[in-house]
Homo-oligomer: A and B are copies of this chain.
């Protein structure tokens, strides 16, 4: 593979992030294919045209089906609202394109399963946008766990909170409707935490969960009254991992003051590692080594010793940002395309994340332990 012709659908938060990742992949990483920004798709078409010019795409379209049919596109990024993922991904797969899709994969588990099966059948390379697991600090944590630095994993706790729905008088949007958004906090944020949890602790065997809607209704934007919020504002689950460890994860989109509080701690028989995405360039490590009088949690600042940090800045402590993580993710995706391997997480792995968040919702709704 010498060059990769990219089509991107969506120009919002994640659309811009994908555009920047594609733009910078080779400039930052110094290897990999030549990336050609071919087509940017959004509606209306003039918006797509304006942003194509801004982001550096060769052309724009308002017709995503046309883009999927374009033989001049090798790979598509899908960053549209969740309820569009399935159709777009299936069309891209059918056209033999590699697919980089934002999380969550789809509205329902059935849709995600359908997408996964289609991709596997067609043999295209897929990836889902779990950018936080590409943080060099996180990769270092996984490495430490795998090397046994904290011994056998025995316990885990994780949280992921934001406050974008904390204000009860915020207007009702599609995010509040099951048919449009699917899950609430679990789909928006919980799946990110799940992607980290599984990488650190391995698969979950069973769980029990609970969830709540903090603000039952929200005012309609047109002032015509209030409409119900149909999905969860918070969810919490007790996990039993296949390896015998226990754990818990929790998410809230109504947590005032939290902006990206994706935090966790993994307990081992020899030590502990803790992390907080709001300080994404730091890792906390405690190891039961050396004299007790000088033991303590150490704050590791990410640096060139945590690849590929050094591709961005050659000096430790200078800090990566949110958009940088997406470049690392793009690199993992394109490497997999180049060598025919499976990137992490492809649709198959991401389906495990979806399965877990839907199991949480099922357990919460039905009030029973769910086996996985």
Within 8 A of B (CB), among A42-93: 54-56
Binds B, one of A103-111, A164-172, A332-340, A344-352: A164-172
Report whether A303 and B292 are in contact in the complex, using a CB–CB cutoff of 8 Å: yes
Report whether B320 and A208 are in contact in the complex, using a CB–CB cutoff of 8 Å: no
Looking at chain A's contact residues, the main secondary structure is: mixed
Whether, in the assembled complex, A209 has its beta carbon less than 8 Å from a beta carbon of chain B, the answer is yes
> What would be 27 A-B contacts, judged by CB atoms less than 8 Å apart?
A13-B314, A20-B24, A20-B28, A23-B23, A23-B24, A24-B24, A26-B54, A27-B55, A154-B212, A162-B315, A164-B315, A210-B238, A236-B246, A236-B247, A248-B250, A256-B271, A257-B297, A260-B315, A261-B317, A279-B279, A283-B296, A293-B300, A297-B298, A313-B322, A318-B322, A320-B321, A320-B322
How many identical chains are in the complex?
4
Interface residues of A, Cβ cutoff 8 Å to B = 12-13, 17, 19-20, 23-24, 26-28, 30, 54-56, 140, 144, 149-150, 154-155, 157, 159, 162, 164, 166-168, 208-212, 214, 234, 236-238, 240, 244-248, 250, 252, 254-261, 267-272, 278-280, 283, 285-288, 291-301, 303, 305-306, 312-324, 367, 369
Give the distance to chain B from A158, nearest Cβ to Cβ, in Å: 11
